[in-house]
Structure 1
Amino acid sequence: MSTESLGQVTTTAISPAAPQDSLPAFFARSVVPGLVGTALIGAGAVGVGWVPVKGSLPAPPLIDVLQSTTFGTIAAACSLIVGVVILLLAWLQLGTELTRSGSTDLRRLWMTLAAWSVPLLLTPPLFSRDVYSYVAQGKLMAGGFNPYLTGPSVMPGWVNDGVDPLWADATSPYGQVFLLFGRLFSDIAGPSAFSMALMFRVLAVVGVAILAWAVPVLAKAYGVNPARALWLGVLNPLVFMHFISGAHNDALMIGLIAAGFALVVRKHPYFGVLLITLGAAVKPIGLVALPFAGLLWAGQGAPMTLVVRRWVQSAAVALTVMVGLAFASGTGFGWLNAVATPASVKTWLSPPTAAGMAIGAVVDVGGFNATDTLIAAFRVLATVAALAFIAYLCLRPGTRNPVRAAGLAFLALVVLGPAVQPWYLLWCLPLLAATALTKIETKWMIYGTVGLTLFSLVSHLCDGAGYL
């Protein structure tokens, strides 16, 4: 293989691919199994998906049976289980085929992404009901409330919108762009929470589509097989389960961030920083990517004076955008105080929280009641460690791959964060997949995908989803 320097990045010529199957053969072998999987997931969602109130969906006899009878619920749950397993196996098989053939054909994978997504577009959300919190915050905006100061419980009938009671009084941790979309969707959909949820799904699909463009662009720039990167980072089962079905706003956030990096690579740094800032204005955790955009803009081996200048320029762009959005939304910078909202959740997926709960359970046997104190202590230590690691990634000399460094920064926030959800892996996976994962790292990402896919399935079924 030969390489040539492009300033910030190093491009590696990819070896010619082996002969591919014909399109019909590829469709039958690689597309159809995953399509069957997502179709079964979509069918299961009708019976065990999150539906805000009875009557929100059309109820022909078959659908009514799935939603309102024990037999129907069991059948829907079985459909969901089988569908997730088939989707997971189809994804693994597709990855094996890509490894064997060395194919770099993106069109076939884009077709696969679209085909696998279609059955999930109009079904009730699965694996989380966070989208109904988005709905409530949009209604707050439309009603003249500031979601950074007020929780959904101030609205009459908020329970009927499907909001998890855990978040009844929680202020919004999301950015101004996302709240503006929420207000727009509320104005369009009126009182229908389910219609608004579908609109938020459209936003998530847009985020996935942006990812499907940006990840191959970054992969080509870093000498990575773009098809392989697209498979691991975007065709991932977690994307279909949490970004498409679950309609999480993380999809739009990481899509804009990846696109921003792609534009910086293509020598459009101001537009790139703008997109990354807009991603952070969807979910503020995205601000973590900003210093790495400055590193990428400065170029490999740039002197620290140039790096600092690029950081200042990036910060100026970001601050200008954020101030403009604060005035446009009328909400100010309330998200700065609200970003800690998810930390109220105690989950075993978070190592520091799990350590606090496990040790606390032992200590509490002696009557000390120290669990909450231990959780808080471990969370503080983990947060300090994560911030120190991110600072190291930003400041270490000779950072060759700022996009990979950004992915590692997000990974640190996931592993050391106070609250972790399965879809948080998708903050880092698309960026890492596009920037030369080692074989061992790839295996761990695949293992993580499989584990979190199965965890999401079991967790959803244990939550007893259905009418809210």
Structure 2
Amino acid sequence: MTAPLALVPFAGEGSRTAALVGRLVEGPLTRPRVAVRLSVGGTGLLALTAACAPNNHTLDVRLPLSLPFPMPGLVSTLLTFSALVLSGLGLAGMLGAAKRGWSPSPRTLRRAGVAAVAVFVGLTPVGSADMASYAAYGRIAAMGADPYVSTPADLGGAYASLVSDVWVHTPSVYGPMATWAQAGAALIGGVHPWVTIWILMIANGAVFLAVGQLLLRTCEDKVRAGLLWVANPILIGQLVAGGHLDTYMAALAVCAVHQLRRGTRLRHDVFAGVLIGLACGFKVSAVLLGAGLAWPVLRDNGPWRVVRLALTAALTLVGLYGAYGLHALAPLSAASGLVSDLSPWGVLRSLGGTVVGPAVVAAVISALWPVLMLAMTPVIRRRVLREPADTVTGPLVLNCAWLLVAPWTMPWYTAMAWALAARLPRNPLVPWLTVATVSLALLHNSGGHGWTW
């Protein structure tokens, strides 16, 4: 399930969201001690939920730091909800405190992030069952089968038993880069899915910290960069505790933007294009990065630089998919038709399906939402961000427009937007990202079990 983001107003100046967030962070929340304690409390509660696996919000597997007793369903739900709310309030408070002059040491922020990551990579993934699918696809590939044809159900055994019912009969919808990373972990894990999941968690946590280090080294406002990424309790709870591939996409996006900002020579464009292609090799939604970069590069440097970027990214992607063949794109076609029940598109699908039929409604939704996304992009840039499109704002705004109107959106899909926002000075998109990510997380944190109280 996902939140109906189209119903969440952007946090631009004068908007209701900005006013609400402003009232929340004015006063006690902006006191550094209060904000930090809320963040630590939210992170701690989520860690406790993950440690007491299995429960309603975790996979049915235990990792090395798991406690020797499970958590009752209602307790796990209450703790998870509390953790998400406290994390959101804590981040809003820390950002408000920083705006008022609080300046924690970037080294302290990095150490806090390292400590949190070190704990979560040894705990059961919480909030989503995606990690079980990653492990199953990796096991399929490690055994020499094709994860774009075979499904976790075909694999069977301990791996398949952990995969959510929604995905157990679905071939991999992830790119070759993701498959190879998953296969590497499965080669180590062998017949033990918990080992494979643990390796994937460790790798994901390491990438998360690497992104934080790069942002701390390259951003002018290091405190803001630290708060928006490495010490961000919301992202730690979604990306690290959930172990999602979006961490890798965010890492490659930050590196691509960094390369383009270093200069306009051929080597910069080639390297950036390869990074964009590799990001698409994890999840095809990373094409938003390339599309977001195209307009400012075209405007500032002319068409040839865009051609170099596009050609290099395309060749990289062709090389990646060449290892499997075009059939590896087939599962993406089926996944592109997914619609969240709680989104406005879900309402349209339910109502329209009874009138004109599900096929017609699906076709209308597939054709309409990209148009709305493109229409929303200049509106967000002019009325919300109010900055000219460049190598950061271009993909950031397009990513936010996608989050706003896409039929299928998850809280960890905001990873790239958070990483790009960390490179900008204070802007109104951050309060919206906070509200959107927490709202999505509150509605999608069942660990693949569905809602069971």
TM-score normalised by structure 1 residue count: 0.76
Partner of 1:151: 151
Alignment partners' CA distance in 2, 1:214 and 1:355: 42
Cα shift at 1:274: 2.3
Counterparts in 2 of 1:296 and 1:107: CA distance versus 1, 3 Å: farther
Counterparts in 2 of 1:239 and 1:51: CA distance versus 1, 3 Å: same
Cα shift at 1:193: 1.4
Give SS of 1:164's match: coil
AA of the residue aligned to 1:37: G
Alignment partners' CA distance in 2, 1:186 and 1:319: 29
2:344 is the alignment partner of 1:355? no
2:236 is the alignment partner of 1:240? yes
Q: Is the 8 A contact 2:252 2:278 kept in 1?
A: yes
AA of the residue aligned to 1:353: G
Cα shift at 1:74: 4.2
AA of the residue aligned to 1:127: G
Alignment partners' CA distance in 1, 2:332 and 2:231: 29
Alignment partners' CA distance in 2, 1:210 and 1:58: 23
2:265 is the alignment partner of 1:265? no
How many percent identity over aligned positions? Answer: 21
Alignment partners' CA distance in 1, 2:147 and 2:42: 38
Give SS of 2:108's match: helix
In structure 2, which of residues 326, 329, 336 is the aligned counterpart of residue 336 of structure 1?
A: 329
Partner of 1:431: 420
2:365 is the alignment partner of 1:381? no
Counterparts in 2 of 1:290 and 1:378: CA distance versus 1, 3 Å: closer
Alignment partners' CA distance in 1, 2:317 and 2:250: 18
In structure 2, which of residues 245, 251, 257 is the aligned counterpart of residue 249 of structure 1?
A: 245
AA of the residue aligned to 2:320: L
Counterparts in 2 of 1:253 and 1:57: CA distance versus 1, 3 Å: closer
AA of the residue aligned to 1:145: A
Cα shift at 1:313: 1.3
Q: Which stretch shifts more, 427-436 or 253-262?
A: 427-436
Alignment partners' CA distance in 2, 1:85 and 1:131: 24
2:311 is the alignment partner of 1:311? no
- Alignment deviations for residues 317-340 of structure 1 (CA, whole Å, 9 cap, x no partner): 22332343335xx31344433323
Q: Which stretch shifts more, 181-190 or 191-200?
A: 191-200
Q: Is the 8 A contact 2:256 2:272 kept in 1?
A: yes
How do residues 96-135 of structure 1 correspond to structure 2 at under 5 angstroms?
96-101=96-101, 103=103, 105-135=105-135
Higher relative contact order (CA 8 A, sep 6+): 2
In structure 1, which of residues 437, 440, 454 is the aligned counterpart of residue 442 of structure 2?
A: 454
- Alignment deviations for residues 265-299 of structure 1 (CA, whole Å, 9 cap, x no partner): 1234432332222211111211221244455666x
Give SS of 1:282's match: coil
- Alignment deviations for residues 76-111 of structure 1 (CA, whole Å, 9 cap, x no partner): 444434433433333222222211116384323222
Partner of 2:11: none
Cα shift at 1:128: 0.7
Give SS of 1:259's match: helix
Computed over aligned residues only, the root mean square deviation of the Cα atoms, in angstroms, reads 3.5
Cα shift at 1:249: 0.4
- Alignment deviations for residues 420-466 of structure 1 (CA, whole Å, 9 cap, x no partner): 11222223232234334634x3332333234234334579885349x
Q: Is the 8 A contact 2:84 2:234 kept in 1?
A: no
In structure 2, which of residues 303, 307, 319 is the aligned counterpart of residue 324 of structure 1?
A: 319
Partner of 1:194: 194
Q: Is the 8 A contact 2:43 2:233 kept in 1?
A: no
Aligned residues: 411
Q: Is the 8 A contact 2:39 2:87 kept in 1?
A: yes
Alignment partners' CA distance in 1, 2:287 and 2:431: 28
